[in-house]
Amino acid sequence: MTRLDDTPVPDYANRLRLDGRRFIVIGAGQGIGRQASHALAANGARLVTVDVDPDLATDIAAEVGAVPWSGDATNRDDVERLFADAARELGGIDGFVDIVGISRFVDLVDYTDEEWDWHFDMSLRHAFLAMQYGAKAMAEHGGVMVFVASVSGMTGAPRHAAYGAAKAGLMSLVRSGAVELGPLGIRVNAVAPGVVWTPRVSGYLGEAGEKRNSDNAPLGRVALPADIASALLFFASDLAGYVSGQVLSVDGGVGAKFPYPMDGL
């Protein structure tokens, strides 16, 4: 204590721990999902690792000592089954991390109805379903929901109109979930990455794309999946115990930049 303050000091390091807490990782098989699974498990969480590819779900489960599960996160029956199976396997659910999301580059004027609907399924519908069934599973004791959004939902990105609109919808859903589920003791947050050097992105952009995006970032590099997993871990832990309804941008400072070239100024 000091002369003016005798309030208790928490064990801040321990607030990061998740010992014995029961989490589902949706989209766990590679990239951000794989790293998030390791981050949670390394801090004591017990996991069900989910991927649409059963082999990937099994691979990551073997890495972190989790229970594998495979199904379609955009299908209501599958998501209902997921939360029922996970609660049975783990003895309850204390939280989930939902990483699912993928985009296709399409000019705005060329989108078909099918492409538009696909983006909303892959970037928003699964979050809506997970929030519904997760809320029911955690209603009696509270818990944590953490989603992966995108900076594309904050700013305009060429050929990303459907993806950006869906991710903006996800951010709104996070805020609504925080307000409605807060009285149940459920926190709802999201991380919004910029360019992340996942296996899929690296294969698409190649070395030239990595250099271009590294040069554009004030921190001088693209994000790694572990950078996003670290932010997800923060939201899942008690370090964020009074944080809800927030979207944390993890983009290496790109969003803070003056938008025009500075050469010659």
- List residues with catalytic annotation: 163
Sorted by sequence, the CB contacts under 8 Å of residue 74 that are 6+ apart come out as 121, 122, 125, 126, 129
| 3-state DSSP assignment of residue 191 | strand
d(C-alpha 175, C-alpha 153), whole Å = 14
d(C-alpha 238, C-alpha 104), whole Å = 36
Residue 165's alpha-carbon distances to 39, 90, 123, 194, in angstroms, are 29, 35, 9, 15
Find the distance separating the first CA and the last CA of the chain, reported in whole Å. 52
Beta bridge partners of 147: 98, 190
| 3-state DSSP assignment of residue 38 | helix
CB-neighbour burial class of residue 140 (10 A; exposed 0-12, middle 13-18, buried 19+)? exposed
d(C-alpha 226, C-alpha 224), whole Å = 5
CB neighbourhood size of 186 (10 A): 23
Q: With residue 140 as reference, give the H or E element that holds it.
A: none
Beta-strand relationship, 143-148 and 67-70:
unpaired
